[in-house]
A and B are shown apart, each in its own frame.
Chain A
Amino acid sequence: MSTAVDRTGDVPLLELRGIGKDFGSVIALDGISTTVRAGEVTCVLGDNGAGKSTLIKVLSGVHRPTRGELLLDGRPVDFGAPREALDAGIATVFQDLAMIPLMAIWRNFFLGSEPTTGWGPFRRFDSATAKDVTRRELAAMGIDIRDADQPVGTLSGGERQSVAIARAVHFGARVLILDEPTSALGVKQAGVVLRYIAQARDRGLGVVFITHNPHHAHPVGDRFLLLNRGRSMGDFAKGELSRQELTAMMAGGDELAELAEELERPAGG
């Protein structure tokens, strides 16, 4: 449904053209096309087994697509490893968050990319800078942590998601992929995370927001890609779809009607 030339005419940050992925004889993903623009949120919706995880893994460089093209700034790209996608500016916040619960927030924030100071055998982890940057980056995202020294394990699920998002933004992500960031959270916590998604978008990032909850996707999304059993059920711009339509498509409208009928109390029973 999406085309290379968009309504605004500029080149999208990331574009998928007929992406497909097979695992042996299983077609996990087929004919997926959508666009991710700077300062916009593209939501990927689908039930369990719809192919959301496979799509993330293709985008983040874990899997190579079997078919189709991935374009970054209009140029075709081919990621052989997660590191290559990361270097190209595509950061993925996985569900398990890649954070160590027993370690302090600032240590987690810079894990694997620690700033150093000094030279020779006295080269050391620049903890003052690390703490300072952590505090500043979290504040810029509107995250108010009491103490950068507290272990990540003491944060709530929403706060942890937010730290992971802030980390991706700090390390130069242009495209931010969020794997079901709201699925394990309560209503209030999910709201907090949605606000941070909006923050990242307002800072000019292209966000790919994977979820199975249309109520989380609709308020924040600019584009909606619906997946079902590995195939695209459509790629819509915000104006083309109401929340009710989105919900109905997600639930598989007819199936839901059938289910409602099935669960109905027998008349007169």
Chain B
Amino acid sequence: MSATREAPVSGPARADERLAAVGLWRRLLVKPELGSLIGAVVILAFFSVQSSTFRSLSGIANWLDVASTLGIMAVAVALLMIGGHFDLSAGVLTGTTALTVGVVATELGQNIWVAIAAALVLALAIGFLNGWLVTRTGLPSFIITLGTFLMLQGLNLGLTKLFTGTVVVRGIAEAPGYHSAELLLASTISVFGQPFRVAVVWWLLATAVASWVLLRTRFGNWVFATGGDEVASRNVGVPAARTTITLFMTTAAAAWLVGSITAVRLTSVQANTGTGQELIYIVAAVIGGCLLTGGFGSAIGAALGALVFGMTQQGIVYLRWDADWFYFFLGAMLLLAVLANRLVRRYAEAARR
């Protein structure tokens, strides 16, 4: 007894037994955005060397534009994935919100800002429904959001036909208040004489806010915990259900932003807008270092994943390659990213005994 009472507070002998210093390599490896950063640099270098259009200012403006709206979604989807869930309805929801903006502004003759506000309310309601169903039933979010995905796809087509008699909503530019909306969502900003789409600013802003929330707030800590081990996090008092629902609503809000940008920029919206994009968001998030199993990832990584996507898509066009190669590239990149992510997880769980 007395022997244990006098146990040394800190013994050099114990420090010894826990050697295995954490090397620089391993420290870097646990940074989720490392892979996508390397990928982005390699692809940037490759296309810049091959194509002068790609490295020109107008070329840069072009691939940043492609990356921007995709990036806004990828960042939100990444947060949701870190929180342990998927949202297959995210792509079609950008169409739903864009169509709502269009129908309310043209068919119902409202001010464009009223239309945009209505679309936000709808998006948040759908996001809440997704999250509520997932937390209440405990079913995989994959299957729940597949359901909402298909329902929204049907609604988009059905309601558009009902309102317009066609599959397109036109004439958004005539709505009252359009010019202020255009300024905020669809204008360009001149840098070195080259106009850049304002969506790029929204993308950077979304990435910065998401990254700050994830790494610097209590909510961010709860996102990692809920995705890492939901039961354990609930045991220590993390409001896991609230966290999950908030994440689904955030994804829906991002879809609303992208949908509004699309509606205002194009001034007409196809009923099938956004369908099929949901997988691209997930691919970007995974390239950005998000684990499919949740609990690990980064917002900056997802933004870089979207950048990789944008550069590859435009680079292939500039090199006049067959566009089919784009999907090959994308698939190869995804596989590489998944293998790299697996390594990270293995490392993090290596010392379990």
Report yes or no: A102 in contact with B218, Cβ–Cβ below 8 A. Answer: no
The complex places the Cα of A220 from the Cα of B345 at a distance, in Å, of 37
Assess whether B339 is interfacial by the CB under 8 Å rule: no
Contacts A150-B22, A188-B17; is A94 near B5 (CB within 8 Å)?
no
Interface size on B, residues (CB 8 A): 44
The complex places the Cα of A157 from the Cα of B328 at a distance, in Å, of 43
A82 contacts across to B, CB distance below 8 A: 235
Assess whether A97 is interfacial by the CB under 8 Å rule: yes
Report yes or no: B21 in contact with A146, Cβ–Cβ below 8 A. Answer: yes
Chain A nearest CB from B284 CB (Å) reads: 21
Chain A nearest CB from B219 CB (Å) reads: 9
Closest to A156 in B: B353
Chain A nearest CB from B31 CB (Å) reads: 11
Report yes or no: B345 in contact with A102, Cβ–Cβ below 8 A. Answer: yes
The complex places the Cα of A139 from the Cα of B18 at a distance, in Å, of 15
Report yes or no: A146 in contact with B18, Cβ–Cβ below 8 A. Answer: yes
A94 contacts across to B, CB distance below 8 A: 235
Chain B nearest CB from A134 CB (Å) reads: 13
Binds B, one of A28-36, A110-118, A224-232, A253-261: A110-118
Contacts A107-B224, A112-B237, A127-B216; is A153 near B352 (CB within 8 Å)?
yes
Mask: chain A, 119-152; 1 = CB below 8 Å from B; 0 = not: 0000111010000000000011010101100110
Assess whether A100 is interfacial by the CB under 8 Å rule: yes
The complex places the Cα of A103 from the Cα of B226 at a distance, in Å, of 11
Closest to A189 in B: B353
Closest to B14 in A: A144
Mask: chain B, 282-296; 1 = CB below 8 Å from A; 0 = not: 000000000100011
Contacts A103-B225, A151-B30; is A219 near B352 (CB within 8 Å)?
no
Report yes or no: B217 in contact with A142, Cβ–Cβ below 8 A. Answer: no
Report yes or no: B232 in contact with A97, Cβ–Cβ below 8 A. Answer: yes
Binds B, one of A10-18, A44-52, A68-76, A190-198: A190-198
Assess whether A3 is interfacial by the CB under 8 Å rule: no
The complex places the Cα of A1 from the Cα of B334 at a distance, in Å, of 66
Assess whether B139 is interfacial by the CB under 8 Å rule: no
Closest to B218 in A: A114
> Which of B10, B14, B353 is close to A192, meaning CB atoms less than 8 Å apart?
B14
A112 contacts across to B, CB distance below 8 A: 225, 233, 236-238
Assess whether A101 is interfacial by the CB under 8 Å rule: yes
Report yes or no: A125 in contact with B220, Cβ–Cβ below 8 A. Answer: yes
The complex places the Cα of A113 from the Cα of B235 at a distance, in Å, of 12
Q: How large is the interface on A (under 10, 10 to 19, 20 to 34, 35 or more residues)?
A: 35 or more
Report yes or no: B348 in contact with A101, Cβ–Cβ below 8 A. Answer: yes
Assess whether B228 is interfacial by the CB under 8 Å rule: yes
The complex places the Cα of A220 from the Cα of B228 at a distance, in Å, of 34
Report yes or no: B237 in contact with A144, Cβ–Cβ below 8 A. Answer: no
Closest to B293 in A: A102
Report yes or no: A195 in contact with B232, Cβ–Cβ below 8 A. Answer: no
B235 contacts across to A, CB distance below 8 A: 82, 94, 98
The complex places the Cα of A185 from the Cα of B238 at a distance, in Å, of 28
Report yes or no: A116 in contact with B349, Cβ–Cβ below 8 A. Answer: no
Assess whether A83 is interfacial by the CB under 8 Å rule: yes
Assess whether B24 is interfacial by the CB under 8 Å rule: no
Assess whether B162 is interfacial by the CB under 8 Å rule: no
The complex places the Cα of A99 from the Cα of B348 at a distance, in Å, of 13
Report yes or no: B237 in contact with A102, Cβ–Cβ below 8 A. Answer: no
Report yes or no: B4 in contact with A195, Cβ–Cβ below 8 A. Answer: yes
Assess whether B9 is interfacial by the CB under 8 Å rule: yes
A100 contacts across to B, CB distance below 8 A: 224-225, 228-229, 232-233, 295
Assess whether B138 is interfacial by the CB under 8 Å rule: no
Mask: chain B, 10-22; 1 = CB below 8 Å from A; 0 = not: 1100110110011
Report yes or no: B233 in contact with A96, Cβ–Cβ below 8 A. Answer: no
> Which of B1, B237, B348 is close to A151, meaning CB atoms less than 8 Å apart?
B348
A98 contacts across to B, CB distance below 8 A: 232-233, 235-236
7 smallest CB-CB distances across A and B, nearest first, come from A112-B237, A100-B228, A112-B236, A98-B235, A114-B218, A153-B348, A98-B232
In the complex, besides A151-B348, A154-B350, A194-B4, 18 extra interface pairs with C-beta distance below 8 angstroms are: A96-B232, A99-B232, A100-B229, A101-B228, A102-B295, A102-B296, A103-B221, A111-B233, A111-B236, A113-B236, A125-B217, A125-B220, A125-B221, A151-B30, A153-B348, A154-B351, A185-B353, A220-B4
